[in-house]
Amino acid sequence: MTLKRRKNRTPHPQCALSDCMSFIGGAWTPNIIWYLSSGPRRFSELRSDIPLVSAKVLTQRLRELEDRGILSRAVKDTSPPSVEYALTALGLEFMPVIQAISEVGQRLKARAAA
Amino acid sequence: MTLKRRKNRTPHPQCALSDCMSFIGGAWTPNIIWYLSSGPRRFSELRSDIPLVSAKVLTQRLRELEDRGILSRAVKDTSPPSVEYALTALGLEFMPVIQAISEVGQRLKARAAA
DNA sequence: CAGCATCCCACGGGATACTG
DNA sequence: CAGTATCCCGTGGGATGCTG
């Protein structure tokens, strides 16, 4: 979700929603945070956690979450190389949201099944 | 967020996140739900609640939320015409998410200010 | 293993103008 | 007031193939 800035409009105080959404709005972002919440995880692990995501997009999301300070990237200089991603303190702040999304998602499924 | 279906992949059980996101992922959708949570509201009221949204997009979101059963549309046949939108029971299910998003958004702002 | 590089396109969404 | 109708464009993201 990009929200091109509309011109000639002053920003609104109640944009905390959009602010937060700008973090978790990207495709697969919630899933990434979700799977990192139970501990650090490697690239390939995330790939199989979220089989539908392409390598490119996963990399994109990870980079951008790293830049935003949501997660940390640690390269272990072994052979074969391995990289561990982990939520930062800031990243953990998002857990209530992710949790809520997941729970509502579940309830929606249950409702649909009925 | 559109998530073009990748081919030759079986869907994943843990997609409650994406499921829920498909509802609130659209631009301004969280805001709409937020402003409807305190009671029914008319089109123009929503427009001034969310000054950055264009009429076209607001209509789009409202129609699509209506189709999905999140909100109801009631046309009062007066002159000038007025239309009231209100959250349905299903729509109310999303409040925990919206609330969480808003709270985290606030906390992010506070953190950034510090 | 953990990625870049490229190509490519659907579609979300802004601007603007018009209507019952 | 509560929308529709068009036009148009940026970008998110999938597919595929290559590298240190």
Residue B44 CB neighbour total at 10 angstroms: 12
Query: What is the model's pTM?
Result: 0.91
Q: Within an 8 Å CB–CB cutoff, is residue B26 touching chain A? A: yes
The identity of residue B29, as a single letter, is T
Q: In terms of C-beta density within 10 A (0-12 exposed, 13-18 middle, 19 or more buried), how is residue A43 classed?
A: middle
| Residue B40: pLDDT band with limits 50, 70, 90 | very high
Task: Check whether A1 has a pLDDT greater than 80.
Answer: no
Q: Is B32 exposed, middle or buried (0-12, 13-18, 19+ CB in 10 A)?
A: buried
Please, which residues 69-108 of chain B have a Cβ atom closer than 8 Å to chain A? Answer: 90, 93-94, 96-108
List the single protein residue with the shortest CA to C1' distance from D9. A4
Alpha carbon distance A45, B33 (integer Å): 35
Write out chain A residues lying below 8 Å of B51, CB-based.
9-10, 12
Contact between A100 and B99 using a beta-carbon 8 Å cutoff: yes
User: Rounded to whole angstroms, what are the CA distances from A63 to A41, A70, B88?
Assistant: 15, 10, 39
A56: chain B residues, CB-CB within 8 Å: none
Q: φ and ψ at A68, to 5 degrees?
A: -85, 0
**Chains A and B: how many Cβ contacts under 8 Å?**
123
DSSP string, B54-97: -HHHHHHHHHHHHHTTSEEEEEE--SS-EEEEEE-HHHHTTHHH
Q: Would you call A12 and B99 a contact, using CB atoms and an 8 Å cutoff?
A: no
B1 has a pLDDT exceeding 90: no
Residues of B in contact with A97 (CB under 8 A): 97, 100-101, 104
Q: Inspect the interface and report whether the beta carbons of B21 and A30 lie closer than 8 Å.
A: yes
pLDDT at B2: 64
**Among candidates B14, B27, B101 on the partner chain, residue whose Cβ is nearest the Cβ of A1:** B27
CA-nearest of A28, A2, A23 to A96 is: A23
Per-residue pLDDT averaged across B17-28, rounded? 96
pLDDT in tens, A52-87: 999 999 999 999 999 999 999 999 988 788 999 999
Q: Examine the pLDDT at B28 and tell me if it is beyond 50.
A: yes
